[in-house]
Structure 1
Amino acid sequence: MVKEGELLWTPRPEFAARSNLAQYMRWLYGNRGLDFKDYESLWQWSVTDIEAFWASIWDYFQVCSDQPYTRVLSQRVMPGANWFEGSRVNYAEHLLRAEAERGEAPVFHHLSENRPLARMSWNELGRQVRILATQLRALGIGPGDRVVSYMPNVPETAIAMMAAVAIGAVWSSAAPEFGVKTVIERFAQIQPKLLFAADGYRFGGKDFAREGEVRQIVEALPSLERVVWLPYLEPQGGLPALPGVLSWGNLLDRQDVPGESFRFERVEHDHPLWIVFSSGTTGLPKAIVHSHVGALAEHLKLTHFHFGLSADSVMFFYSTTGWMMWNLLLAALLTGAGVVLYDGNPAYPSLDLLWRLAADTGVTSFGASPTYVQMMEKARLQPKERFDLSRLESVIVAGAPSTPETFDWFYKAVKQDLWVTSQSGGTEACSGFVGAAPLLPVHAGEIQTRMLGMDVHAWSEDGQELIDQVGELVVTSPFPSMPIHFWNDTGGKRYRESYFEVYPGIWRHGDFIKINARGGCYIYGRSDSTLNRYGVRIGTAEIYRAVEQVEEVADSLVVCCELPGGQFFMPLFLKLKPGVELDDGLRERIAARLRQDCSPRHVPDRMYAVDAVPYTLTGKKMEVPVRKILMGWPLEKAASRDAMMNPETIDWFLRFAQESTDYRWRTAE
C-alpha cells in the first residue's frame, strides 16, 4: 500500500519552465528586480510584503479599472480590511475579456442527461451575455439588486450569472435539487428582485419536475418582481402561471448588442459581486458576500498559478450550481481556457461517463471530489485502457480530504505523467488556502503547498505555531477574497463569531491541518467534529482512510460524543457492501487495521452497520449533525433535511438515538 508522503511525481523541467507560475517569477525579476530561488521563498514574500504582492497581481494581469486604486490595502486587520480602494472594476468584464482573441474557439463544452454534447463559442457567449444584460437593464435591474437562480449546470445559468454581474447586480445560485425550504432559507435573507428558474432537471435517468417547487419559492419571496423561465426538461413547454414570468427564449431573441457599444458596470471596491451560502446543515445558512475586486484578484492568481490554466486549456470539474466550485469553474474563463459543463449523475449510465466526456472534449484539467474517486477506485476502473487522455495534464481533487490511495489510483489507472493535486479552501473564501504549484513534486496524500498570498499556519489551542503536528488552520494576514460581510449581519456579529472568536484578529477556518517541514499540507477534516480520545485530538479523515481500505466497507462515519465527568464515547458507523454482515470477525479486522495504520486511540468504542452515510448537498459527511442527534438534540435543531443529499439516511440515526438498547452510554455509566 502506498505510504503517506511517498514521492509519486516530479515535474519535467519543460513543464515547470512553461508554467504560468514560472513566467510570473521571470516577470517579477524583470519588472520588480525580485529574484526568488524557489516557490517557498516566493510564498514567503507574498505573505510578508502583502501590498507589493497583490499590486504585482494587478499589474501582471493588467486589471481593467476606470481609475487607479489609491492603495492596495487599507490596513492589515481582520475583519475590516479594504482592498484596492478607489478602483472601479467588473468581474464579468474580465471573464469575457478573452472573447476578442478567442472568437469562434469553444468556451463551453456542455453535456447533460437530456441534451447531447454541444459547444458554444466565445463570440456566442459574449453575444448572449450582452443581450441578456441589456434586457435586465430594461426590466429595471440595476447595481445592487439581487438576482437569483434555481437552475442546473447548463450554459444558460452561466450566461445569467455573467449578465447579472455585468450590470452590477448581485448574483446568488441554488441547485435545482435543493428542496423548497433550503432555497427559501437562502433567498429570503437577501430579498431578490428577479429569479431565473428551470422547469426541472434529469438525474440518473429520472426526470424531476420543479414547477411546483418554483411556485412555492416565488410565493415565499415577496420581493420578486420577475421570473425568467427556462424550459429545460420540456423545451416546447409553455410558461407557467407565475407573476411577472418571462420566457428565456423571448428575452434572448433580440437584436445583437455589439461589444463596443455595451457598457459593463464598473463598481467600487466594496460592491457585492455574489452571495454564496454555507451548507446550512445546522442553523440558518450564512449569506457570505464577496466583492468584485477581491474575487477578481484572487481568481486571477488561483486559476493561472495554482490551477495552471491558459488559453490552450480545457477545465472540467464535476459540480452543481449550488457549490462554490461552480463559481471557480467559470473563473477559468479569466485565463482564456475552455470549460466543460456537465449536468447529471456522474456515474450514469456508467461509472466511466466523466472520463468519456474528458476524452471527447480534450480536457487538460480534470476535477472531482474524493468521494467520486473512491467510487472509481473501488470499482477498479482503468480509464487509461479505454479513453484517449493524451491532453490531460492535471487533476484537481477538492471538497474533502484526499487519501494517499486516491493519488496513487490516478497514477496507476489514468496516467503516469500527471500533476495530481488536492486543493482545499472554502465557500467563505470562494477559493483555496492550500493547493498546488507546478514547480513542486507530488507526494501521496499531500497538498503541495500554501497558496500565494494565503498566510496559512497550523496553530495549537493556545496559539502556538505547529510544524509536523495537527493543529487549527488559521490565516494570520488579510486576503482579498475574504467576505466583505454577511448579508443582514448587523454590526458584523455573526461574521466575527464564525471566524475570529477563538483567536481575535486571526481567521480560524475550522479545519484541522498539518504542515510539514517542506511546506506540504494535510487536511484532517473539520475541527468542529473533533474526535477526542484520551486527551488527544484526532481528525476524522485519518480514520476514514484506514477503515475504507477494508474490502467489505463501502463508506463510514465516525463521531465523538461527550459524556458526563469528562468522558467520551466514539462510535463508528459502517455502510457495508451488499451481502456483508458486521460480525465479530469483521469488527476485529477493522480495529486491527486502525491500530496498525493509526494508533490504538483511533479504535472506536463501538461499531454499527448502517444503510447509508448522510451527506450534505455539497458532498460532505454530516459528522456534526449526527453527533448532535446522538447527544439528544432534536432533528430540527441538529440538521435540515433540505440541506442533505440523501435526507432519508438521517432517520436511522434518529431511531438509533431514541430506541437502541445499546445506547446507555448517553448517560453516565
Structure 2
Amino acid sequence: MGEIIPQVLNGTTNGLHKGKRELWTHPDPESSRMAEFKRRVNQKYGLKLENYDDLYKWSIGDTGSFWGEVWDFTGITASKHYDEVVPKGASIFPRPDFFAGSRLNFAENLLYPANLKIDENSPAIIEATEIGNHEITWAELRERVRKCTLALHSHGVVESDRVAGFLGNHANAVVAMLAASSIGAVWTGVSPDTGVTAVLERLVQIQPKVLFVDNAVIYNGKKHSSHQKVKEILAGLKGLKAGVMFETVKSFEMEVEGLEVAEGKQWTYEDFVKSASDLSSPLTFAQLPPSHPLYILYSSGTTGAPKCIVHSAAGTLIQHKKEHILHCDIRPGDRMLYFTTTTWMMWHWLISALSAGCTVILYDGSPFHPHGDLSMPLLIQNLKITHFGTSAKYLSILEQKRIFPMEAPHNLDLSSLKAIYSTGSPLAPSTFEYVYSAFPSSLNLGSITGGTDIISLFGAPCPLLPVYSGEIQCSGLGMAIAAFSPSGVPVPDGEDGDLVCTAPFPCQPIYFFSSISHSAGLQKYREAYFETFEGVWHHGDFVRFEKETKGLVMLGRSDGILKPSGVRFGSAEIYNVLLRHFGGVISDAICVGRRRETDTDETVVLFLKMEEGKACDESLKGDIRSVIRKELSARHVPGVIDECFEIPITGNGKKVEIAVKQILCGMKIKVGASVMNKECLEWYREWAETH
C-alpha cells in the first residue's frame, strides 16, 4: 500500500488541523487553465490577484465582468452577442436574465466546440458496456444528430416541445438529446431502471411529444426486455405523438408490435429516421435566447410528486464550461467517464464536456461486472481515461473491500488518470486517504457538491489549491455561497450552518414546469429555495467552511439535521466514524432524529445494516457509542442503536433519511416512487410502532 506523507500547513508538522492532511497539490499550478484565466483577468483589469481566494472574491464581487470573461475564455458560439451580462444590482429572485440579447444553440456548442481544432475522425464518444466498447467519431456523431433532427422536424417537433428519453447511458441518448436541443425542444431523461409509476410521475406532468426508449438493457450480465415497462408508460402518456425504439441490445427482439401511442405510432429508430421528409437537408441550429429552456430535471420525489425543474441553455452551457475548463482543467483529447444514469444531473454535466473537446465515455451497466471490483479500474486502464467520476458510495465500497488495483496481483496501469470526482453524498475522510493510497497520488481527488437544482456545482475541484482530507476544495467561481444560522445570519468559518447562495448565478432554474400555469410553477420555485431566508437561495445542505483552508465540509441535508438538546449536527459525521472504524463489520447505516409529539427532546436513532455473518450485539453497540463519544462528543452518541435489514435509497443511491425520520416521528407520509426499495419502509413503520 502506498504511503501518504503529511504536508506542512500553517507552520505545523501534523499535516492538517483536526487530524486532516494535505493529500495533493498540483505539480505545476501555473500551467493550469485557471491560472491562465487569472493572468488574463489581471492584465485586462489591472489587478493583482495572487491566488484562488483573490480570484474567487473578484468573481463574486464583479459578477458581470467575471461571467463575461468566462464567456470569452471558455469559448461560447453565438450568432448574436449579448447586450449585457446581467443587470447591475440584480437580485437572485426573480431570476435575472443573464446574457440578454444573445442568440445561441446548446447543441451547436457541443458538436462544434468553439476555438478548438478537432480531428473529425477522432472519437467524440466511446460507448462502454459490460460486453465491449465502441467509438463514435465527431463526424459520425454530427451525422447521427443531423438525421435524428430531421426526423423530429418531420414529426412536428418545434421549439419548447418536450422530448423524453426512457434510455440507458449510451450514444443514442446523446444523439436524441442533441437533436432535440438543436431544434430548441426541451429534453428530459429517465433511466430504464426506474419503475413505471416513477416514470409517469415525471412525464405526465410535462407531456412529451416524442418518447425514445430502449428495446432492452443489459445489467450484471443479464438482458432485460423493456417491452412491458414501455407498454405501461405509453398507456399513461395521453398526448404523445410518437414513440421511438432503439435497438440498444442487438439480436434482441424489437417488440414494437402492441405498443400503442396516444396520437401516433411506435417506430423503430431506423424507420423513424427514414420517415424524415428530406434526409439530405443539412443540420441547422435554432438560434435562441439565452434563457430558452434546455432540460427538465426532477427533484427526488421521495415524499411526494417530483418537481419539474427547468434549466436554461446558456446558463447550463457556461456553468459547465467554467467547471470543466477552469475547475477540472479539461483539455481537448482528455477522456472523461462519469458513472451515472440519464436521470442524474451528472449525465448532463458529463455530456457538456464535449464542448471542451473532451472524449466522453458512456458506461451502461453494472460497475462491478464483468470483472468484479476491478471492472471500473480496468476500464480506466484500457480506455486511458483521464477524468473518472463516481459516487462516494462506490469509492467507500472499494475502501471497505481494500481494493488496490495498481498493486500485485492486479498491477493495473492507471497513469492516465488526472482526476477522480465524487458526489451524491459526503466523501468520508478515510475514503480520501484510501483513494490516495490505491490510485495514482498525482491525481486531483475532487469531492464536489451541487445538485439537480442548479445542474452544476457549488463546491468544486481546483488546480490552484491543495486537497485536504474530508474537504471539498473550494467554493466555485462566481458562486457566492455561505453558511447561515437558523436566524439567517452568516456563521463564522469553522461553524456549522445551512448552505446558501446570496447572489444571482446563470444556472439558476428558469422556472418549475407546471401544467396548471406558469405562475404556479414560479410559485413552487420560490417556495423551494427562497422561503427559508428572504432573498437568499437556501440549498438544503448542512455544511461547514473550514477556517484555515476555506474548504467545504458536507454534514448532511438541512431537513435531516440531528438536534438532540438543541445541538445541531449532520448524519455524515456519524457515517464517517462508522466507515473509519467499523468497515467490514457494518455494511451501511442510516441515522435520523426522532421527536414525537409526546417527546420532550429529540433522540438520535442509528440503524445498522450488518455485513453477512456479523452480529449487531451489545458489545458492538458499546464500541460504537464509545468511539463516537471520543471522536465527536457526548451529544453525538445515538440514544438508540438497532439493526435493520435494508436502507431505503433513491435511484442515485442517496439514503432516504427524511422518510425514515417522518415515520419514526409518527407522521403519515406518501412515499414517492423514486425510492428504489420503498417496500423496506414498512419495516421502519413496524419498528416505530413497537419502540
TM-score range (shorter-chain normalised) is: over 0.9
Is the aligned partner of 1:78 residue 2:78? no
Q: Secondary structure at the match of 1:555?
A: strand
Quote the offset at 1:257 in angstroms: 9.6
Aligned to 1:372: 394
Quote the offset at 1:324 in angstroms: 0.6
- Deviation track 1:76-108 (CA, whole Å, cap 9, x = no partner) reads 212221111111111111111139623111111
Match of 2:573 among 525, 539, 542: 542
Asked if 1 retains the 8 angstrom alpha-carbon contact of 2:154 and 2:277, the reply is no
Between the aligned partners of 1:516 and 1:606, the Cα distance in structure 2 is 31
AA of the residue aligned to 2:184: G
Aligned to 2:671: 639
Greater displacement, 208-217 / 255-264: 255-264
Match of 2:445 among 409, 420, 430: 420
Change (3 A) 1:77 1:258: farther
Aligned to 1:572: 606
- Deviation track 1:406-451 (CA, whole Å, cap 9, x = no partner) reads 1111111111222111000010100000111101111001111100
Match of 2:132 among 94, 97, 116: 116
Between the aligned partners of 1:217 and 1:298, the Cα distance in structure 2 is 33
Match of 2:543 among 482, 495, 513: 513
Aligned to 2:462: 437
Aligned to 1:529: 560
AA of the residue aligned to 1:109: I
Between the aligned partners of 2:81 and 2:247, the Cα distance in structure 1 is 44
Is the aligned partner of 1:168 residue 2:184? yes
- Structure 2: gaps (5+ residues): 5-14
Match of 2:661 among 619, 627, 648: 627
Change (3 A) 1:256 1:310: farther
Match of 1:476 among 493, 499, 502: 502
Quote the offset at 1:4 in angstroms: 4.9
Is the aligned partner of 1:598 residue 2:632? yes
AA of the residue aligned to 2:192: P
Identity %: 34
Quote the offset at 1:236 in angstroms: 5.1
Asked if 1 retains the 8 angstrom alpha-carbon contact of 2:146 and 2:282, the reply is no
AA of the residue aligned to 2:480: D
Aligned to 2:10: none
Match of 1:496 among 526, 530, 543: 526
Between the aligned partners of 1:28 and 1:298, the Cα distance in structure 2 is 18
- Structure 1: gaps (5+ residues): 664-669
Once the two structures are superposed, the pairs formed by residues 227-238 of structure 1 within 5 Å of their partners are 227-235=243-251, 237-238=253-254
Between the aligned partners of 2:278 and 2:438, the Cα distance in structure 1 is 48
Between the aligned partners of 2:342 and 2:136, the Cα distance in structure 1 is 19
Quote the offset at 1:535 in angstroms: 1.0
Is the aligned partner of 1:408 residue 2:456? no
Aligned to 1:465: 490
Between the aligned partners of 2:278 and 2:502, the Cα distance in structure 1 is 46
Q: Secondary structure at the match of 1:305?
A: helix
Once the two structures are superposed, the pairs formed by residues 196-235 of structure 1 within 5 Å of their partners are 196-235=212-251
Between the aligned partners of 1:647 and 1:330, the Cα distance in structure 2 is 31
Asked if 1 retains the 8 angstrom alpha-carbon contact of 2:150 and 2:279, the reply is no
Change (3 A) 1:379 1:544: same
Between the aligned partners of 1:462 and 1:643, the Cα distance in structure 2 is 32
Aligned to 1:618: 652
Aligned to 1:325: 346
Asked if 1 retains the 8 angstrom alpha-carbon contact of 2:671 and 2:678, the reply is no
Between the aligned partners of 2:281 and 2:195, the Cα distance in structure 1 is 42
- Deviation track 1:196-233 (CA, whole Å, cap 9, x = no partner) reads 01123122223322211111111111110000111223
Is the aligned partner of 1:147 residue 2:173? no
Aligned to 2:332: 311
Quote the offset at 1:255 in angstroms: 10
AA of the residue aligned to 2:615: E
Between the aligned partners of 2:27 and 2:280, the Cα distance in structure 1 is 41
Q: Secondary structure at the match of 1:383?
A: coil
Asked if 1 retains the 8 angstrom alpha-carbon contact of 2:74 and 2:322, the reply is no
Aligned to 1:667: none
Between the aligned partners of 2:680 and 2:19, the Cα distance in structure 1 is 32
AA of the residue aligned to 2:573: E
Quote the offset at 1:110 in angstroms: 1.4
Between the aligned partners of 1:254 and 1:359, the Cα distance in structure 2 is 42
Asked if 2 retains the 8 angstrom alpha-carbon contact of 1:315 and 1:339, the reply is yes
Aligned to 2:9: none
Between the aligned partners of 2:200 and 2:281, the Cα distance in structure 1 is 39
AA of the residue aligned to 1:453: G
Between the aligned partners of 1:133 and 1:281, the Cα distance in structure 2 is 35
Aligned to 2:150: 134
Change (3 A) 1:465 1:527: same
Between the aligned partners of 2:535 and 2:676, the Cα distance in structure 1 is 35
Aligned to 1:102: 119
Asked if 2 retains the 8 angstrom alpha-carbon contact of 1:147 and 1:164, the reply is yes
Quote the offset at 1:260 in angstroms: 10
Asked if 2 retains the 8 angstrom alpha-carbon contact of 1:128 and 1:252, the reply is no
Q: Secondary structure at the match of 2:118?
A: helix
Asked if 2 retains the 8 angstrom alpha-carbon contact of 1:109 and 1:119, the reply is yes
TM-score (norm 2): 0.91
Is the aligned partner of 1:356 residue 2:378? yes
Aligned to 2:297: 276
Aligned to 2:62: 49
